[in-house]
A and B are shown apart, each in its own frame.
Chain A
Amino acid sequence: MLEANNLAVEFAGRGRRARAVDGVNLSVGAGEIVALVGESGCGKTTLARTLLGLERPTSGEVRYDGSALSHRGRALKAYRRQVQLILQDPMGSLNPRQTVYEAVAEGPRIHGLPDEEQVVAEALSRAGLRPPERFFLRYPHELSGGQRQRVVIAGALALNPKVLIADEPVASLDASVRGEILALLLRLRNELGLSALVVTHDLGLAWNIADRVAVMYLGRIVESGPVEQILTAPQHPYTQALLSVLPESPDRIVLTGEPPDPTRIPTGCRFHPRCQLLASGKAAAAGIDTACHSEPLPILSSAADPQTACHLTLVDS
């Protein structure tokens, strides 16, 4: 359905080039929910923005329904009817001067759809705001956080899209509301067959709603595959560390150091300066420590089966 092929996005800034996305293959199938997990600065938001056509790739391409995404005006506009964005902060994603009705009607107005009022009412009730008429004239500041996010979702649904791209859709919501919004995303998938790419730092969210998960580190996907497999039996040391710092987990692997810098990507395996397996000598025992330092890893394909970009697993298999 939606596919990234060898996608790379670079930003030029202060003399150095930041490779925010540095070679990514990723696909979202019809009716599939994929979670893209990583820490801030790993490039997950840039990847999502590029998939939406908000950022131009430096190399590689975005493919939708088998054809490459064009950045020309009309084609891009048509594409944006199909693929919708949901942002983290629902307060910020709504214009404070617009009513709920206008916010939801914005998409249909841009694309000149008929029966605006009916479309808006239907989108609102699909997003769980019922009866919709009660919300038409309210302003964002009069709503609770959960209701605001539902308005944003309704705004996306009004265009009858095929794919939702949600960037941390529940990160700024209260815990008790979080589950309801996630349940809404799941229900939309089941009822409308919507595909979704959910960008998040929250592995619990992936467990809650995603079919597949891709773990991103410093511009690359380091591990991907079905949620059950990746989250219960992670192969990549970074995924293992991320899972280990969750409160319930027994042994913590707290990585030292700060989130890495995309302007200075390490040689070899990009994770090696923080890798606990390399630090503990496990990599040396397997005789791959020089490879970790100097040999770059192949880019993972967009296939659905589990894959890991780690020299150690390459040796094992």
Chain B
Amino acid sequence: MSITWTRRQRALRRFWADFRTHRAGVVGLAILVVAVVLALAAPLFIDEGVTNVVRGTGEKLAPPSLDDPLGTDESGRSVLLLIWWGSRTSLLIGFLAALLSMVIGTVLGIAAGHFRGWIGAVIMRITDWFLVLPSLVTALVLAAILGGSTATIVIAIGVTSWPSTARLIRAQTLAVEARPYIERSTALGAGHWHITTRHVLPNVAPLLLASTTLEVASAIVTESTLAFLGVSANKTSWGTMLRGSYDWGAATSGAWWYILLPGLCIVIVVLAFTLCGRALETVLNPRLRGATR
């Protein structure tokens, strides 16, 4: 066990040394760490009360001031506190939906690549079918049927976004399985479980990590879109804030802070995930890095 451990430690150290050379990736990572820490630490300073309409104490749609640095919304709630609290929902849904989509995509992708023949063919047809479904509409319908809750939104995003992952993982699985070491492993007596978990999964994992990062970004955007279109978890998120600003005509009444700041948060976090994902991709994808390493 100690041997495996030493190897992992070494690999991790080398990975970090590589990652550090990508400045954009490091900036993205830093932003993400700050965002996640703030979201996690929020309950230490504020509570869900900040989203309560009744407890909105400020003026309605007041511009940024010393009391409310980022202005207030239509109920006099502080936009800063709303964004802070809302980040919890946005990030949570982003992470969970991406995770769900990745798990489904990976399992089906590896299965489709590993079990060629009719099993693989059936999985691929299902994947294709999901791929051509307009995912936003499907998610809207799903969320409308299942009712608004965090779990609903996560499921709606998760089950509509996995097909592209499945295709990616399947292609990578096929590439890995064509390598002679898979044949060697089979000849050593390895079964399906051993080959997929010991050889295929570690080889697709880097790709998976990079693509999960990008998937989180897209899940956050989808969540905002769904919220904007009126399907939300009934909790404050950046998406519901945008929806609120639209409903209350923030744009026409000149309340730029209400519309711009949640949007800006989405853009920054999504950008940070994308920067991170791209850097991960370059560091971890063997095809993108030198063959000598």
Interface residues of A (CB under 8 A from B): 52, 54, 73, 76-77, 80-81, 83-85, 87-89, 92-97, 99, 101-102, 106-107, 110-111, 117, 136-137, 141, 152, 155-156, 159
Q: Which A residues touch B180, using CB under 8 A?
A: 87-89, 92-93
Are B189 and A81 neighbours in the complex by a CB distance under 8 Å? yes
B252 within 8 Å of A (CB atoms): no
The residue from A84, A95, A137 contacting B188, defined by CB atoms under 8 A apart = A84
Contact assessment for B184 and A155 in the assembled complex, using a CB-CB cutoff below 8 Å: yes
| A106→B7 CA distance, assembly (Å) | 16
Q: Within 8 Å CB of B4, what residues of A?
A: 102
Taking CB atoms and an 8 Å cut-off, the chain B residues in 266-293 that contact chain A are 286, 292-293
Known contacts A93-B180, A93-B181, A137-B7; is-contact A54 B187 (Cβ 8 Å): yes
Give chain A nearest CB distance to B225 CB in angstroms: 38
**Extra A-B contacts (20), CB below 8 Å, given A52-B187, A95-B199, A110-B188:** A54-B187, A76-B189, A83-B187, A92-B181, A97-B202, A97-B203, A99-B3, A99-B7, A102-B7, A106-B185, A106-B190, A110-B185, A110-B194, A117-B3, A137-B7, A141-B292, A152-B184, A155-B184, A155-B188, A159-B188
Q: Does B191 contact A (CB under 8 A)?
A: yes
A85 touches B187 (CB 8 A): yes
Known: A95-B199, A99-B3, A137-B7. A80 touches B188 (CB 8 A): yes
Residues 181-225 of B, flagged 1 when their CB comes within 8 A of A and 0 if not, give 101111111110010001100110000000000000000000000
Closest beta carbon of chain B to A32's beta carbon, Å = 20
Whether, in the assembled complex, B6 has its beta carbon less than 8 Å from a beta carbon of chain A, the answer is yes
- Which residues on B are within 8 Å of A, measured CB to CB? 3-4, 6-7, 10, 179-181, 183-191, 194, 198-199, 202-203, 286, 292-293
Known A73-B191, A77-B191: A54·B186 in contact at CB below 8 Å: yes
A102 neighbours in B (Cβ, 8 Å):
4, 7
User: B6, B183, B286: which contacts A54 (Cβ < 8 A)?
Assistant: B183
Contacts of B189 in A (CB 8 A): 76-77, 80-81, 107, 110-111, 159
Residues of chain A with a CB closer than 8 A to B6's CB: 137
> What's the minimum C-beta distance from A196 to chain B, rounded to whole angstroms?
14
| Chain A to chain B: the 9 pairs with minimum beta-carbon distance, closest first | A85-B187, A80-B189, A92-B180, A107-B188, A93-B180, A77-B189, A93-B184, A95-B181, A87-B180
CB distance A92 to B194 under 8 Å? no
Note all chain B residues with C-beta closer than 8 A to A52: 187
Residues of B contacting A136 in the complex (Cβ-Cβ under 8 angstroms): 3
Find chain B residues with CB under 8 A from A101 CB. Answer: 3
How far apart are the CA atoms of A77 and B286 in the complex, in Å? 32
Measured CB to CB, the closest approach of chain B to A47, in angstroms, equals 15
Q: For B185, what are the chain A residues with a Cβ–Cβ distance below 8 Å?
A: 106, 110
Give complex CA distance A199, B272 in Å. Answer: 54
- The residues of A that contact B187 with a CB separation of less than 8 Å are 52, 54, 80, 83-85
What residues on B are CB-neighbors of A92 within 8 Å? 179-181
A156 to B188, CA, bound (A): 7
Q: Which residues of the partner chain A approach B181 to less than 8 Å between Cβ atoms? A: 92-95
Task: Among A93, A136, A137, find the residue whose CB has the most chain B CB atoms closer than 10 A.
Answer: A93
* Nearest A-chain residue to B176, judged by Cβ: A95
Are A87 and B184 neighbours in the complex by a CB distance under 8 Å?
Answer: yes
Q: List 21 A-B contacts (CB under 8 A).
A: A52-B187, A73-B191, A80-B188, A85-B183, A93-B180, A93-B184, A94-B181, A95-B202, A95-B203, A101-B3, A102-B7, A106-B188, A110-B188, A110-B189, A110-B194, A117-B3, A136-B3, A137-B6, A137-B10, A155-B188, A156-B188
Set of chain A residues within 8 Å of B194, measured between Cβ atoms: 110
Contacts of A80 in B (CB 8 A): 187-189
Q: Given the complex of chains A and B, what is the CA–CA distance between A94 and B3 in angstroms?
A: 18
Chain B residues within an 8 Å CB radius of A96: 286
Question: Please, how many angstroms separate the alpha-carbon atoms of A111 and B194 in the complex?
Answer: 11
CA distance A92 to B179 in the complex (A): 6
Give every chain B residue within 8 A of A155 (Cβ-Cβ). Answer: 184, 188
Q: Which chain B residues lie closer than 8 Å to A54 at the CB level?
A: 183, 186-187
Smallest CB–CB gap between A194 and chain B, Å? 15
**Chain A residues with CB below 8 A from B286, complex form:** 96
Nearest-CB distance from A227 to chain B (Å)? 26
